[in-house]
Amino acid sequence: QEDALYSIIILGASGDLAKKKIYPVLWSLFRDDLLPKNTSFVGYARSKLSIDDLRKSFQANCKIMKGEEEKFFAFIKNNLYISGSYDSSEDFKRLNESLNEREAKTNAGNRVFYLSLPPFVFDTATQHIRENCWGKTGWNRIVLEKPFGHDLESSRKLATHLNSLFTEEEIYRIDHYLGKELVQNLITLRFANRIFNPAWNNHNVASVMITFKEPIGTQGRGGYFDEYGIIRDIIQNHLMQIFCLAAMEKPVSLNAEDIRDEKVRVLRRIAPATIENSVFGQYLGNPTGKTEDEKMGYLDDPTVPKGSVTPTFAALVLKIDNERWEGVPWILRAGKALNERKAEIRVQFKKPDGDIMPGTGAKRDELVIRFQPNEAIYLKMMTKTPNSHFGMEETELDMTYSKRYEGVVLAEAYQLLFLEILRGRQIHFVRNDELEETWRIFTPLLHQIENEKVKPIDYEFGSRGPRDADRLLAENNFIYTGTY
């Protein structure tokens, strides 16, 4: 609608996520003219801040090129800040009045409520938003970030609460991995190419591994991390979203519900993860490390409870009990304080039947999709060594984005997700039943390691993680061939 107004309300505007991610992303969208005209930004938090304080809190995280200062000034002019608490109707009513005032001239006032808040205020804040701030002239959408509970039961409780206030169409659960270019490309690769689909099954695939590695430790956020651990922080959400897109059947259409139906369907065919099929690790400081972070072990972080057994590394195996995937191990592996930053999926194919070149060292074909950094899709395959008599070597069909799309800057996950929220498209957001299924898969394991205080294996900051994880890969038909 021509005269529609859009308000993006950031609850928790003075917090870390808002400063580091949300405001810088909003600025970049504004700068590139990607937002609908008539969009304004309304910060809400407890601290008493002026607009100038707010600007100072995030400006350093914004990329402002020469010549863009005026535009940045215009961006700041579109900002409003309201100080209020998360449990006061009065304060939320004030927020609403200010939104109404701005919308007085339109009959389409659209509101996005972005909750950049700690989980213990989710319930009250959402209640107040619904009761006091739900706009009457346009649409309203509510955006939430993990954690969505900490196990199946608490996640269900949150879902029941949210569903009593909002419809599923109004709820946007962010998993920022779904905003990454190469994660989204999984759908195109699999379903827009004839070549992959016939090979994408247990007749041809030996094993699949999805990896997340980070070369940083808790960096003082240990207190937060310790309540969750690597399974809740990375595997149950980010890696499972990649898993779903890689393993699901072809959706009926690109419609959000059709895609999410398929994700749920494949999740329902997975038995809960087990301790027998898992390896857990916790990092130790590296005395020769270059930074303080590297020197500090997980348990040396003063915000981590003494003697904590929370894993900072986990590798585990899931099996999908359906016609396509029966017998194929899916290995999920994630860790902090490792040797590098990397997120990728590796699909290892079986060797060809009826090998006519025995003894020549043919290796498995392997399709690698690297989500970050240095985004790439490459296929490791055998080829004849030039000029030899059927000598063979492994080579790569390599599509590295920086070469193939030289000069193209890939959008940041959050940029893309914000635009999707404004468009009202939920493809790249997590539906409640997906969330429930992923919790079902991990809750028994999480409860067991917590109840039995299962001790993780030590690994050194900057290493590849516990060696035992390599054993798990070998046991699950994954042949270690590279540097991962």
Q: How far is the CB of 337 from ligand BG6 (least distance, A)?
A: 11
Q: How far is the CB of 117 from ligand BG6 (least distance, A)?
A: 15
Strands in 323-375 per DSSP E: 329-335, 342-349, 366-372
Instruction: Specify the residue, 25 or 343, whose C-beta has the smaller distance to ligand BG6.
Output: 343
Q: How far is the CB of 204 from ligand BG6 (least distance, A)?
A: 30
- Exposure string of 200-210, with b = 16+ CB inside 10 Å and e = fewer, is beeeebbbbbb
Residues listed for the chain: 484
Asked whether 420 and 414 are in contact (CB, 8 A), the reply is no
Instruction: Specify the residue, 16 or 300, whose C-beta has the smaller distance to ligand BG6.
Output: 16
Measured distance CA(250)–CA(261) in Å, rounded: 10
What is the DSSP pairing of strand 109-115 with strand 5-11? parallel
Instruction: Specify the residue, 150 or 176, whose C-beta has the smaller distance to ligand BG6.
Output: 176
Task: For residue 366, give the DSSP letter.
Answer: E
Residue of 128, 238, 389, 447 with catalytic role: 238
Q: Based on the residue annotation, tell me whether 428 is a catalytic residue of this protein.
A: no
Q: How far is the CB of 158 from ligand BG6 (least distance, A)?
A: 17
**Residues near ligand BG6 (CB under 6 A):** 176, 214, 233, 343
Q: Tell me the residue number closest to ligand BG6, measured at CB.
A: 233
Instruction: Specify the residue, 219 or 277, whose C-beta has the smaller distance to ligand BG6.
Output: 219
H or E stretch at 459: strand 457-460
Which residues contact residue 28 at a Cβ distance below 8 angstroms, ignoring those fewer than 6 apart?
A: 62, 63, 412, 415
Handedness of CA 104, 110, 114, 119 (dihedral sign): positive
Task: Show the tokens assigned to 167.
Answer: 């419809």
CA dihedral of 101, 107, 108, 114, whole degrees rounded to 10: 20
Q: How far is the CB of 102 from ligand BG6 (least distance, A)?
A: 33
Instruction: Specify the residue, 226 or 262, whose C-beta has the smaller distance to ligand BG6.
Output: 226
* Residue entry with tokens 């659960």: 173
Instruction: Specify the residue, 5 or 337, whose C-beta has the smaller distance to ligand BG6.
Output: 337
Q: How far is the CB of 33 from ligand BG6 (least distance, A)?
A: 25
- Exposure string of 341-373, with b = 16+ CB inside 10 Å and e = fewer, is ebbbbbbbbeeeeeeeeeeeeeebbbbbbbbbe
Angle between helices 256-267 and 240-247 (to 10 degrees): 100
Which residues are the active-site residues?
238
